[in-house]
A = this chain, B = another copy of it.
Amino acid sequence: MTPSDDGTTAMSTSYETIGTRTDGNVLYATFSAPPMNLIGPEVVRDLVALLADLSRPAAPRVVVFESADADFFFPHVDMTKVPEYTAEAAKAGGPGDASLGMLFRRLSLLPAVTIAKLRGRARGAGSEFLLACDMRFASREHAVLGQPEVGIGTPPGAGAIQHLTRLLGRGRALEAVLTSSDYDADLAERYGWVNRALPDAELDAFVAEVATRVGGFPREALIAAKSAVNAVSLPSPTEVRADAALFQQLVRAEGVQRRTAELFERGFQTRGTTELTLGPTLATLTPVD
């Protein structure tokens, strides 16, 4: 950590897939992992490093997460590299931490206040990353959320079960998880998946104002208040690990491999119609007996 010109502390580490910029007490972290921001080993490695940096005493008080890709915040994990990104996630903690779910739980426990600014698609673990942040603001015109896992063949494994059930309630959480549908920002706001949907033209200024405001507040109060809310609302490590274990088991099942293969034939994990409209696409896969 080195002092910057304006007297605040900037992040010294540079990350291959995360651009950073400091403005006062606020760090802007921009995901940029071309071609489409898949959550693979590189992104997870950089998240692990960023979380370590943000855990230092002099770290910025507030972090805003955004994407350099207008279409994809995080489309989902790289399904061809589950063992590799899981191995990177394991570096964040001790035994039992080898999962995105536990990594995201660490994100929720950061002393820094985390704000997600959503444009483009955040599905699967991308949505679960957002759910682990403290607040979520979404572009009314350009945000899409979804948990496509069940449509592929597994339950979500990195926090969606826990967070969506607590935020949306049993009925809407079951709808989101079991239908694997795409949700636009307005519906996500009505359901409580995001704090608010805002007109795209107002989103940047709104989030910057919130971040700057919170960044000027006493650090001790922010940390104590966040910790108290977390004590009421975060799932336990046991719950997070159980979801991760179930995902890691089912993702290897033959049925999942078949459906994933069918998706790849249609352009899965490339910039195209299948990924842009993954929610509707799932309904067109060969139905399972």
Contacts and interface: CB of A to CB of B under 8 A. Distances in A.
Given A154-B221, A161-B232, A214 B178 contact: yes
B169 A166 contact: yes
Contact of A167 (B135, B152, B169, B215): B169
Contact of A135 (B174, B194, B242): B174
A276 interface: no
Contact of A228 (B161, B179, B190): B161
Nearest to A284: B216
A150 B215 CA distance: 11
A246 to B, nearest CB: 6
Interface in A272-289: 282-283, 285, 287-288
A165 B287 contact: no
B155 A169 contact: no
Contacts of A288: 216-219
B229 A165 contact: yes
Nearest to A193: B171
A222 interface: yes
A113 to B, nearest CB: 6
B222 A178 contact: yes
A253 interface: yes
B228 A174 contact: no
Contacts of A136: 171
Chain A: interface size category: 35 or more
A91 interface: no
B224 A246 contact: yes
Contact of A243 (B222, B228, B259, B287): B228
A4 to B, nearest CB: 14
A2 interface: no
A158 to B, nearest CB: 12
A175 B134 CA distance: 7
Contacts of A128: none
Contacts of A246: 224, 228
A180 B222 CA distance: 10
Interface string A223-262: 0111011111111000100110010001001011001000
17 contacts: A25-B287, A113-B178, A135-B171, A136-B171, A149-B221, A150-B222, A152-B221, A154-B221, A154-B224, A155-B228, A167-B171, A169-B233, A174-B229, A178-B217, A215-B287, A216-B288, A228-B243
